[in-house]
């Protein structure tokens, strides 16, 4: 299968390219980092790139929480306009198979249970609470403490920052394309992806990259809030394998199918900082109490559907993955 990989020179995309080639497919890299003319917002360039292609693995995106709402036009341009141009080109070229790099950020806060009111959805956290170090969401009905749980793909979506909003818009565009063209579309809702090749030292890098960069400078990783935020850290090679499984699967035509893509082994941000520090030989992390308003407290999702329907399973364990990541430099 000849597969166009947008963002194919990037952190995740390059691993997808490697996985495709290892399984006998023909990956075609489309990435502005490899060729400035390879912009998904350029209809003519996209049209040329789609020639002879059987499927598209769409990894190109502006990622991360960003630096403020002034980033919104650039996020929408790169993520949503770029996706619309790509899908229009696919419709014209008759390419009927898409795997989209989705994100768990579309859910907003994760799943929470109240002892008195069952499953509830807390609203955005208040600045006054965050300033006072009250990081845990409370029950919107009674104000009691909540127990975080796993989010399923059928949970309501509630994007809480610009990046999350654009990732949800990408899914809506892909779903519309699939319906109109009777095509196959899969969105892999990535959790916190880490591993060798991860971008560093930019406002859009992931927290794992920030921690590793600090350790490389001999500085203590700075952990926001109290470090107890729950996440699912999934290795980039496992994410690449999930893309391969989705590309090779026969998905229903005419609809978008979403799959949570995580390791199934949640850890806190503090756990990750301590694991990286231990693998690097110190220094120990420093919990700062600082916060970013667009962050959510806990988000871990149930990836059992991906395992059951596509036969995928994360292979890289947390401790081994963090040791490899710390040593990757």
Task: Give the residue numbers annotated as catalytic, written as ranges.
Answer: 163
Q: Which residue stretches of 116-235 are H helix?
A: 127-131, 162-181, 207-216
Q: How, if at all, do strands 300-301 and 118-120 pair?
A: unpaired
Separation of alpha carbons 125 and 123, rounded Å: 6
Separation of alpha carbons 189 and 243, rounded Å: 11
Asked whether the beta carbons of 244 and 20 are under 8 A apart, the reply is yes
Asked whether the beta carbons of 258 and 217 are under 8 A apart, the reply is no
Q: How many CB atoms lie within 10 A of CB 205?
A: 17
Write the CB contacts of 226 (distance below 8 Å, at least 6 apart in sequence): 133, 135, 270, 287, 289
Q: How many CB atoms lie within 10 A of CB 123?
A: 12
């Amino acid at each position: 299968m000849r597969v166009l990989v947008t963002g194919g020179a990037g952190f995740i995309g390059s691993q997808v390219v490697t996985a495709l080639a290892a399984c006998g497919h023909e990956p075609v890299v489309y990435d502005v980092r490899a060729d400035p003319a390879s912009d998904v917002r350029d209809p003519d360039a996209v049209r040329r790139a789609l020639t002879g292609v059987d499927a598209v693995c769409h990894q190109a995106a502006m990622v991360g929480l960003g630096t403020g709402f002034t980033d919104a036009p650039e996020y929408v341009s790169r993520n949503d306009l770029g996706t619309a141009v790509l899908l229009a080109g696919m419709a014209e070229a008759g390419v009927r198979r898409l795997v989209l790099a989705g994100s768990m950020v579309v859910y907003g806060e994760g799943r929470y249970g109240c002892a008195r009111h069952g499953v509830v959805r807390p609203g955005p956290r208040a600045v006054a609470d965050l300033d006072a170090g009250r990081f845990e969401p409370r029950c919107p009905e009674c104000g009691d403490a909540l127990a975080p749980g796993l989010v399923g793909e059928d949970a309501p979506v509630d994007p809480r920052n610009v990046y999350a909003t654009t990732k949800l818009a990408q899914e809506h565009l892909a779903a519309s394309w699939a319906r109109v063209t009777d095509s196959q579309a899969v969105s892999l809702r990535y959790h916190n992806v880490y591993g060798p090749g991860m971008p560093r030292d930019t406002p859009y890098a992931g927290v794992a990259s920030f921690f590793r960069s600090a350790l490389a400078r001999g500085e203590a990783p700075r952990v926001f809030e109290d470090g107890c935020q729950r996440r699912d850290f999934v290795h980039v090679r496992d994410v690449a394998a999930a893309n391969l499984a989705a590309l090779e699967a026969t998905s229903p035509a005419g609809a978008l199918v979403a799959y949570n893509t995580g390791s199934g082994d949640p850890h806190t941000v503090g756990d990750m900082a301590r694991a990286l520090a231990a693998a690097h030989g110190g220094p120990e992390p420093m919990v700062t109490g600082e916060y970013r308003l667009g962050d959510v407290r806990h988000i871990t999702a149930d990836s059992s559907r991906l395992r059951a329907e596509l036969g995928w399973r994360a292979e890289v364990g947390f401790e081994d993955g963090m040791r490899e990541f710390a040593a990757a430099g």
